[in-house]
Amino acid sequence: MKKLAIPSVLFLLFAWACYEDKGNYDYNDIMVNKITIRYPVYSVSVYLGDPVVFTPTLTYANKEQADTNIYTWEYHFNYLGLVCTERNMNKVFEEVLPGRSYDGIVIATDTTTGAKYTQNIGFTYRSPYVVGYLLLANEGGKSKLHLLRELNGNWSKVEDLYRVTNNAELGTNPTGMDINRRGRKEVRVMQDGPEGAIVLSGDSYQRVCTYGEEFLGGTLPAGFKPKAFSGGGNVAAMLGENGTIYTKTFSGVYASELFAPVPCVYGTTPLDVQYLLMDAGYMYSPYVYDRNTSSFYLLYGASYYYAGTFSPIRPPEGWSDPVVPPPNDLSDYEIVAARVKPSDSYDVTIVAMLKKRASGELFVYTISHGGSGSPAARASTLTLDAFTAASSVDANTMYHFLQTRPYFFFTGGSAPSKLYCYDLRTKSAWEFKDYGSRILAMESNYTNDNALCVALENGEVYVEDIQESTFISGEGKVIFNASLPGKVVDIDYKDY
Amino acid sequence: MKRYLVIFLLTLPFTGCETEEVPLYNSPDYISFAIRQQDTVVLSFFLLGNLSEYDYPVVVRYTGVPVVEPRPFAVSVVNESTTMPGDKVSLPPALAFQPMQMLDTFYVKLVNFAELQTTSKMVTIALQENSHFFLGDKNYRVLHLVVNDNVAKPDWWNARVENYFLGAYSDKKFRKLMEIVHPDLSNTSESWIRAWALEFKIYLAQMAEADTPVTEDDGSLMSVTVRM
C-alpha cells in the first residue's frame, strides 16, 4: 500500500497542471456609472410644517452608460437617521427643533457595481414668523401686525399676523412697537386702546403679559403712558410719553423681577427723558438723553452690582474744545434725533442730530463711549459737524441711522415722500428715492444694514437694497414690494 | 312541639314592624379661641407699619349645632396677668356669635405709647361662660398677647439686601424706612425691596439737599446702596 501512495501523490501533482483556470482576471471599473449629485441649494431653510425638499440633478462621468434606474438612494441626517430612500426627498418633519441645523448626507449606490456616491446636505427649520420686518399698522383704529419675510431668497408677506397666530384682534389705536432682544425675545406693542400696551412672544405671538403686569402692584403707575422700552444685560427701562422713566434690575434673567413704580431721578432732579437708546441685541446698557439736565446718561446694565445706575457721560479727561459741546451739557442745543450704534456689548457710538437753540443750525454730533464698561467711563471722542443737507429737512423730518455703517437716511422736509441718504464720512447727502407718497416709517436690518424697509402713506411697503454697490451704481434696487392695509405706525426688524 | 315551632316562626316577621325613635344630637354649645393659650401672640406696632393703634383680630370657635339667631358671648381682660395700661386696651362693648357660623372674629383695640419702644406689655383676655355657651377646650379659653413697639433686624435684610438695596442695617434706618415708605412687609421680594430702597434714596437725597440730612445715631449720613 505504501508503495502506491507516493506515485499516486506525484500523479495528482502532475495532473494539477492540466486544470484549466476559467477565472476572470480583467480589470472592470466599478466607477463606470460614476455620478455627481448636485442640488440647487445644499443647505436649505424651511418653515415649520413645510416639507424639506431635495431634488438632485445628476452629472454622469460616462454619458453613454447613463441609467438613472440603477441607483438606490438614502438620505441620512443628524438626530434623525435614515429618513428617505427615494431619489427625490419631500418630507415634513414633525419632531424637529426650530433653529437647529440638521446636517446630513445623501448616498446613491450603484446596484450594478456597489459603488457609492455621496453629497453633503442639510436643512434648518425656522419658525415661520420669527425673522423679517415686523410692521405695526393702524387699520381703522385697530392694531395690526404684518410681517415681511425672506426664505431662501424668496420674499413674502403675512398680513394680520396676530389673527393668523391667535385668531383674535390685537387691540386698538397702536402707537409704537419695541423688540426686547434680550430675555424673553419678545415683541412689545404699545396701544392707546383699552387693551393697553402688551407683550407678545417673539416666536408664537401669544400674549405674554401687559406692560402693567410687569410693574410691582400689577398696574402701570398713574398717568404713565409707555413710549419706549429697552432691555439690557441686567437692567431694563420703560420710558413714558411724559419723559418719566422706570427701571428694573435683574441678575441675568429678565422675567425674574418687576419694574419699581418709582420714577428715576438723578440726585433729586427728576429725569425728563427724550430718548431711550438701545437698538442692537448685544448691548448691555441702554443710554438716555435727559432734557432736564441736557445730558446723555449711561443706564448701566453690564453687571448686576451697578445695574440701574444713571451715569452722565462726561467728556474725555481735560476736554476743553470751545466748539464741540460735552455730552453732559448740551444746554445750547435741542436734540432732533439720536441713535446708538454699538460695535460690541460695551462700545458704542451715539449719533445725534443737534439743533443750536440760538441759530437753528443743525449739526451731526457723535459720542464714542464704552471701553471698560464701567459706569464712570468717560467718552473717548466727540465730534460735531455741520449737517450739510439742512435745507432739505424740517421739524417733521424722520431720521434713520444705520447701526453698522456710516450712513443715515432722512425724509424730506417740504417733500416728505423723498428719501435722502447722508454719508457721515464725506458729509454729503443725496436723494435716494422719491416714492410719490409720504414716508411713514423706515427700518433697516440692523445686523447687516444692507436692506431698508420703507412704509408709505398709500399702503405700499418697499424693501430697498442699500448695499454699497447700490449706492455706487446710483440705481436703486427694490428687493420686495407689497401693499398692506392700514397706516404703518412703526417698523422693527426681527432677526431671531 | 312542632306546632310551637311553627307559631314561633310565624310571629318572628312581625317584630320587623316595630318603630324606634332615633335620638337627635343635642350637645351643649361651647365656645373657645382658635389659638391655644400656650401660643402667646407677639405684636409689634413698628413691624405692623409703625402704627399708633391696632385692632387685633381674635378668632373664636363655636362647637355645637348651628343656630339661626346671633348669640351673645362674653370676653374679659384678665387684670391679674395684664400689664398693658387699662386705657391702652379695650374690647368691644357687646359681642355676638354670628348665626350659622362655626368661626367668628372680634377685635381688641390696642393703643401704642412711647414706653412700648423699650418694653413689652402683656394683655390677657379670657372667654366667659354665659347662658348661651359653655367654655370649650381648656387650652383654648385664654389668649395672651405681648405688645411692643420694638424694632429688630428682619430676616430678609440679609447681605444681598445690604449690598444691593438698603445698605447696612440700623434700627434707626429701619424705623425711618417704615415711616417714609410704609412698606408692606408681607411681601419682601427683591423687586419690592428695591422699590422701597429707591423711594427711600430719593427721600434721603431730598433731605440732604434741604440741609436737613438724615443721620445715623453716630452722626454719619444715612444712606442706601440701591443704584439709580
Contacts A249 to B, Cβ<8 Å:
164, 194, 227
Q: How does pLDDT run across B27-67, given as a tens digit for each residue?
A: 789 999 999 999 989 899 988 877 899 999 999 999 988 88
Give the residue-averaged pLDDT of B147-157: 90
Say yes or no to pLDDT of B5 above 80.
no
Give the residue-averaged pLDDT of A114-142: 92
| Average pLDDT value over all residues in chain A | 92
Q: What distance in Å separates residue B81's CA from the closest CA in chain A?
A: 43
**Domain A30-126 class, CATH top level:** mainly beta
Say yes or no to pLDDT of A13 above 90.
no
Cell of A152: 431662501
Q: How does pLDDT run across B82-118, given as a tens digit for each residue?
A: 999 999 999 999 999 999 999 999 999 999 999 998 8
What DSSP string runs through A155-216? EEEESSHHHHHHSS---BSEEEEEEE-STT-EEEEEESSTT-SEEEETTT--EEEESGGGBT
Going by CATH, does the domain composed of B30-148 fall within 3.30.360.10? no
Catalogue the long-range contacts made by A50-58 (C-beta closer than 8 Å, 24 or more residues apart): A50/A92, A51/A90, A51/A91, A51/A92, A52/A89, A52/A90, A52/A91, A52/A92, A52/A93, A52/A123, A53/A88, A53/A89, A53/A90, A54/A88, A54/A89, A54/A106, A54/A121, A55/A88, A55/A89, A56/A87, A56/A88, A56/A106, A56/A119, A58/A108
Say yes or no to pLDDT of A446 above 90.
no
| Higher-confidence position of A99 and A108 | A108
- Provide the residue type at A398 as one letter: M
Residue A94: band (very low, low, confident or very high) from pLDDT cuts 50, 70, 90: confident
Nearest alpha-carbon partner for B30 in B110, B119, B140: B140
Contacts A265 to B, Cβ<8 Å:
202, 205, 228
Residue A371: band (very low, low, confident or very high) from pLDDT cuts 50, 70, 90: low
- With CB atoms and an 8 Å threshold, state whether B228 touches A258: no
Domain ranges, ordered by start, for chain A: 30-126
- With CB atoms and an 8 Å threshold, state whether A260 touches B227: no
Nearest chain A residue to B164, by CA: A305
Q: Can you say whether residue A418 is alpha, beta or left, with left for phi > 0 and alpha for psi between -120 and 50 degrees?
A: beta
3-state SS class at A247: strand
Q: How does pLDDT run across A215-261, given as a tens digit for each residue?
A: 999 999 999 999 999 988 899 999 999 999 999 999 978 888 999 99
Find the CB nearest A309 among B195, B209, B227.
B227
Say yes or no to pLDDT of A415 above 70.
yes
B59 touches chain A (CB under 8 A): no
Between CA A99 and CA A104, with CA A100 as vertex, the angle to 5 degrees is: 135
Domain ranges, ordered by start, for chain B: 30-148, 151-228
A297 touches chain B (CB under 8 A): no
- With CB atoms and an 8 Å threshold, state whether B227 touches A216: no
